[in-house]
Amino acid sequence: MLGSHLKSDKQTRVISGSVLGGMTTNPSSVTGYLGRYCNQVTLLSDDTQSEFVNWVMPIGKRHTTSNTLLNKFIGKMKWDTDLNGGHRAIVPTGTYEEVMPMSIMATQMVKALASQDLEYSEQLGVLELAEEDVALMEYVCQSKTDVTGKLRDMLTIIEKEG
């Protein structure tokens, strides 16, 4: 199905569903590309070549939500799975609250999830959240924290403890 769309010279990540809520699939699996409830297949470049001192250049083909790059005027941007660096400390800049669909303290929630603080997470309202609710927080996260994965881990811990 995707044979003509895949480029053989580049690594490609196949996602069953959307970029924010889909699951990575194996192209050679028996079940195919689409999950039971998915309507789309997403292909992303999985190339992890690092650019030399890319943090110095104010113009690039990378997307930013903080408008720190002057790439609004360029047009087409490069979308891939590269993190552009490693994991960083969680810094409260207010970007989580800008995209959070609920009225919760989002930065404190991410810190509680990262430290696996069960009681504080429950006080902040972790039981009201699903992975879809924090997907945009993971997208705008400067620290590159796997917020959806940490939320799923916390909800699993709460479920096991009863």
Contact by Cβ (8 Å): 136, 99: yes
Per residue in 85-128, pLDDT (tens digit) is 666 788 888 888 888 888 889 999 999 999 999 999 999 999 99
Which pLDDT score, from 0 to 100, does residue 18 have?
81
Say what the pTM is.
0.65
Structural domain spans, the chain: 95-161
Which pLDDT score, from 0 to 100, does residue 80 have?
65
Residue 135: C-alpha distances to residues 8, 25, 120, 152 (Å): 30, 19, 21, 12
Per residue in 88-97, pLDDT (tens digit) is 788 888 888 8
Residue 162 has pLDDT above 80, yes or no: no
- Across 33-124, where does the E strand assignment appear? 41-45
